Amino acid sequence: MSGSGAGPTGATRWMRDLVRTGQWHRRLLASGLLAGAMAVGLQALEPPPPPSVRVVTAARDIESGSRLSVADLAVTRLSPSSVPDGAITSIAAALSRPLVSAARRGEPLTDVRLAGAGPLASSDDNTVSVPVRIADAEAVALLRPGDVVDVLGAAPSIDGSGGTSARLLASAVRVLTVPRTDSGSGLGELAGDGALVLVTTTATTAARLAGAAVTDRLSLVLRGRRAGG
C-alpha cells in the first residue's frame, strides 16, 4: 500500500517542478525580449552621427620641400565647418607632390601647400626642384612659398677691371620653400652665408644654376606673388 501511494506523490512533485521550470524559462525569455526591445528603442532615439568630410592630413611632422609619400599622409574626418578651403581629399592627389612649407602631424593639407597643385601649377611635368643660395638673406626673408622670381648671377668682370657683370640665370621660377626664421632652422641663419631657397624649374635651368653657384653671387627679382601670399 505504501509503495502504491508513493508513486502518485513522486509524479505530482515531478510535474510541479516541471511547471515551475517552464514558468522560470518563460520569465527569463520575457525579460530578454523586453531588454532587447528597450535597447532597440533607445538606439532609435539616438541622434544620427554628425556629418563629416574626409580630408588628407599629415601623418607626422614633415619638413618643407619633402616629396610626400604614403607614410607621410593620413585620412581624417572633420566636420564641414572645420575643413579649410582647398583641402586635399584624396591621398592620390598629394602623393609625390613637394610640400612648400613644413606641416605638423594632424594638420589638414590644402592645395596651396603642395607644389604643382595650386593656382601656379604648370602643365609641364618635366620639372625638378633645386636649392639656390641667394647672397642677400634679407631679400630671401621677403619671399613666400609660391612666389615667382628671376634669379640673377653677378660674376667678376673678365676684363680685369674689378667690376661685375650681371646675367639672367633663371626666369620665372617658382619658389617652393624659404628658410624658417625660428631658431634652429639651420638654413641661412648667418646673413654672410646668404640663404637657401628651393625653387622648381627645368632640368636645363637647374644645371645652369648649379654651375653659376660656383662662380657667381646670386640674387633674385620678385616677379609675382601667389594669391593669398
Give residue 49's pLDDT.
76
The proportion of the chain whose per-residue pLDDT surpasses 90, expressed as a percent, equals 16
Residue 212: its H or E element: helix 203-215
Residue 4 pLDDT exceeds 60: no
Given a contact cutoff of 8 angstroms between Cβ atoms, the answer to whether 226 and 112 are in contact is yes
Residue 179 in grid coordinates? 628658410
Q: In the structure, what pLDDT confidence band is assigned to residue 1 with cuts at 50, 70 and 90?
A: very low
Given a contact cutoff of 8 angstroms between Cβ atoms, the answer to whether 117 and 99 are in contact is no
Measured at the CA of 22, the angle between CA 16 and CA 26, to 5 degrees, comes to 145
Cβ of 193: how many Cβ atoms within 10 Å? 12
Query: Which domain does 144 fall in, by range?
Result: 128-224
Residue 166 in grid coordinates? 650681371
Give residue 118's pLDDT.
44
Residues 141 and 211 in one domain: yes
Give residue 188's pLDDT.
41
Out of 63, 88, 113, a domain closes at 113
Work out the mean pLDDT of the chain and round it to a whole number. Answer: 76
pTM beyond 0.85, yes or no: no
Residue 96 pLDDT exceeds 90: no
SS3 content of the chain, % helix, strand, coil (to 5): 35, 30, 40
Cα–Cα distance measured from residue 223 to residue 122, given in angstroms and rounded to the nearest whole number: 16
What is the number of structural domains in the chain? 2
CATH number of the domain encompassing residue 68: 3.90.1210.10
**Lowest mean pLDDT segment, chosen from 10-14, 77-81, 190-194:** 190-194
For residue range 38-84, what is the model confidence (pLDDT) as tens digits? 776 666 666 777 888 999 999 999 887 778 889 999 999 999 898 89
Give residue 50's pLDDT.
82
Residue 161 within any structural domain of the chain: yes
Cβ of 185: how many Cβ atoms within 10 Å? 13
The better pLDDT of the pair 85, 19 is held by 85
Residues 106 and 140 in one domain: no
**Which one-letter DSSP state was computed for residue 141?**
T
For residue range 147-167, what is the model confidence (pLDDT) as tens digits? 889 999 987 766 656 566 788
Residue 34 in grid coordinates? 523586453
